[in-house]
Amino acid sequence: MPLMLDLTSKTIIYLFFALLVSEMRKLMDTLKELASEDPLTRANSGRYFYEFGSTEIARAQRSKQPLTLAFIDLDNFKDVNDTLGHQQGDALLVEIATTIKANLREGDILGRLGGDEFAILLTQTDQQQAKVILSRMQANLLNAVHPYDTRVTFSIGVVTYLADKPTSMKELVALADKAMYVIKKSTKNAIQYSDT
């Protein structure tokens, strides 16, 4: 009889720990997903975007394929929050992220890097291909924000790197950001392609 209780107790303890480990794995998966996704826009978080991009840079170098990064800053977005409120601003950010994702190809990735700053990594994409994709995307973004009756437009800086020019994601984002500021300080609502 004591042997039976001992075996039953051990089985219960084992099952309890198996259940506990299973629940911990689910929690870890949920936390990993939360860390990789911006909770508002469902774009990838900046951290995940940089990690993914680093992997893609290495892949581009191995396969000798071009890689394009676009940095998107929303012009006049502060006015939306100031005049229409943060709830309307949040709705607009969600609409913008949804529109960008709808225009991406399989293998491309969107990241939210700041409040009203997004970045797109276009894999296996040279500058000519990027021009077609981003021109269409900018037109679609302008159509998407039109119903919000705002002055929001899009300043976009773009940099294309070839596989023979090793770089880091940090450098790539900085170059695209620099190209974006050329537009931001002049006309706004345009795309600036950087020559690397």
In this predicted model, what pLDDT tens digit does every residue of 8-63 receive, in sequence order? 777 777 776 777 666 666 655 555 554 589 999 999 999 999 999 999 999 988 88
Evaluate if residue 151 carries a pLDDT over 80: yes
Please give the average per-residue pLDDT across 178-195, as a whole number.
92
Tens digit of each residue's pLDDT (9 = 90 or more) over 105-140: 999 999 999 999 999 999 999 999 999 999 999 999
Q: How far is CA 141 from CA 3, 22, 91, 109, 174, in A?
A: 71, 43, 14, 17, 23
- pLDDT in the model for residue 9: 73
- pLDDT in the model for residue 192: 96
**Residues known to be catalytic:** 116
- pLDDT in the model for residue 162: 77
> What percent of the chain lies above the pLDDT cut of 70?
85
pTM of the model: 0.81
The helix-helix angle for 169-184 and 46-63 (nearest 10°) equals 110
Let me know the angle formed at the C-alpha of 148 by 113 and 178, rounded to the nearest 5 degrees. Answer: 30
DSSP 3-state assignment of 158?
Answer: strand
Residue with tokens 């909770």: 39
